[in-house]
Amino acid sequence: MRLVLLGSPVAHSLSPAMHRAALAHAGLPGDYRARDVDAAGFAIPVDELRRGVLDGANVTMPHKQLACRTSDRQTDRATRIGAVNTL
């Protein structure tokens, strides 16, 4: 499983350590990395998700609204709010 945190900045995030520990505890193979991406570079991991290179992403500031606009499907709540936390 290849998972990422997308945002900027993300170097300070504890998410990679927490998610790696959760994967290990659950006995699931995989990795979780933080990727610092700007708005222009956000399309790259979205494309990687669509092609199956990545299996999932958490989205943090400032890209929650961008993630909503670029997602293929949204819940009604996400559409109303205009932002998402995961892809």
Residue 49 CA to residue 82 CA, distance in Å, equals: 20
Q: Is 25 a catalytic residue?
A: no
Q: Which of 64, 67, 68, 87 is catalytic?
A: 64
Contact predicate 34/4, CB 8 Å: yes
Q: How far is CA 3 from the centre of its chain?
A: 7
Catalytic residues: 64
